């Protein structure tokens, strides 16, 4: 296995430039996260492949110029990208949605997204943060409906609208079963960055200050869920790439039910601090 290259996580602007202009520097080897779930993202942003037994589901698409890395990772794992039947998008930011159009065109997969983010595509492309890099716009085939799980093969994906990072941010929850019948609960929060909620950004976005309350409530809603395997929308959130080397035939370093709570509690603290120090009032 080639080393998963480390990148400078401190500077988002540099990560964008690197991801778009030198995507090979962000490349990461794919790896198994759960019995039927695989990491096919890069060093900066996550993408997950779910083998349902009757076709593949892909969560998030990385950036436009990184798509070849996703497809290569899928092939390296022994799967055919053309078997992707369903594309799930966490939220309409460039690092997650930049690759949606090429992957959708290539696979013909059905795209689901949060309805509340669609105006980014139609009215406010500045909120996608493409920063002038290549972007093919797209239309969803379906909006998420939290009362209607998405099913394919052996998998049932429950969605939960968790607004805050963007209005339409959606989180995913599903059970995966190993060959012995052991079930693990998998969860991915669709967007936990508070970077879109500071005073300056929230005003620029034209969002109500109550988006912060929405974000906090979203976090409180998922905080007590029992999640065995937390999938980071960015691998850094749960230090996934640092754990890859601990994988053995009998040990899965991602199966740790303390990770989810820690992640969510960290974000609750961040948003509360932001709310306390803000100069904006509702």
**Sign of the alpha-carbon torsion through 206, 212, 213, 214:** positive
Of 92 and 184, nearer to Zn ion (C-beta) is 92
Q: How far apart are the first and last CA of the chain?
A: 52
Residue 234, interface with Zn ion (CB under 5 A)?
no
Measured distance CA(63)–CA(20) in Å, rounded = 7
**Sign of the alpha-carbon torsion through 170, 157, 94, 42:** positive
Of 93 and 161, nearer to Zn ion (C-beta) is 93
Minimum distance from residue 196 beta carbon to Zn ion (Å): 7
Minimum distance from residue 93 beta carbon to Zn ion (Å): 3
Minimum distance from residue 165 beta carbon to Zn ion (Å): 6
Q: CA angle at residue 216 from 150 to 131, to 5 degrees? A: 75
Of 52 and 169, nearer to Zn ion (C-beta) is 169
Of 40 and 92, nearer to Zn ion (C-beta) is 92
Measured distance CA(229)–CA(167) in Å, rounded = 25
Number of chain positions touching Zn ion (CB under 5 A): 2
Minimum distance from residue 26 beta carbon to Zn ion (Å): 16
The residue range among 4-12, 184-192, 202-210, 266-274 that interacts with Zn ion, by the rule CB under 5 A, is 184-192
Among 18, 39, 92, 93, binds Zn ion (CB under 5 A): 93
Cβ contacts of residue 166 below 8 Å, gap of 6+?
91, 92, 93, 114, 116, 117, 120, 127, 191, 196
Of 93 and 267, nearer to Zn ion (C-beta) is 93
Q: CA distances (Å), 75 to each of 40, 84, 244, in order?
A: 10, 12, 19
Minimum distance from residue 192 beta carbon to Zn ion (Å): 9
Query: Which residues in 186-205 contact Zn ion (CB under 5 A)?
Result: 191
Binding mask 160-179 for Zn ion (x = CB under 5 A): --------------------
Measured distance CA(267)–CA(218) in Å, rounded = 11
Q: Give the residue closest to Zn ion by C-beta.
A: 93
Measured distance CA(95)–CA(93) in Å, rounded = 6
Query: Where on the chain is the footprint of Zn ion (CB under 5 A)?
Result: 93, 191
């Amino acid at each position: 296995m080639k080393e998963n290259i480390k990148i400078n996580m401190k500077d988002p602007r540099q990560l964008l430039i690197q991801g778009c202009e030198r995507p090979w520097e962000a490349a990461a080897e794919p790896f198994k996260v759960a019995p039927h779930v695989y990491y096919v993202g890069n060093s900066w942003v996550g993408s997950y492949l779910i083998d349902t037994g009757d076709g593949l589901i892909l969560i998030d698409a990385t950036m436009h110029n990184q798509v070849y890395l996703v497809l290569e990772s899928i092939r390296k794992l022994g799967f055919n990208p053309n078997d992707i039947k369903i594309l799930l998008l966490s939220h309409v930011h460039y690092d997650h949605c930049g690759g949606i159009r090429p992957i959708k065109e290539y696979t013909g997969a059905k795209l689901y997204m949060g309805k509340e983010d669609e105006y980014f595509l139609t009215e406010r492309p500045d909120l996608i943060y493409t920063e002038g890099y290549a972007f093919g716009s797209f239309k969803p085939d379906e909006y998420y409906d939290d009362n209607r799980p998405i099913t394919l093969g052996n998998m049932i994906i429950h969605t939960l609208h968790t607004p805050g990072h963007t209005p339409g941010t959606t989180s995913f929850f599903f059970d995966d079963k190993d060959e012995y019948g052991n079930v693990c609960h998998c969860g991915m929060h669709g967007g936990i960055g508070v970077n879109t909620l500071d005073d300056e950004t929230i005003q620029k976005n034209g969002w109500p200050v109550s988006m912060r309350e929405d974000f906090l409530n979203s976090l409180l809603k998922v905080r007590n869920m029992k999640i065995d395997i937390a999938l980071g929308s960015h691998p850094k959130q749960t230090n996934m790439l640092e754990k890859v080397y601990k994988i053995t035939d009998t040990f899965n370093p991602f199966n740790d039910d303390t990770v989810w709570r820690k992640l969510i509690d960290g974000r609750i603290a961040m948003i509360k601090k932001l709310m306390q120090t803000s100069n904006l009032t509702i």
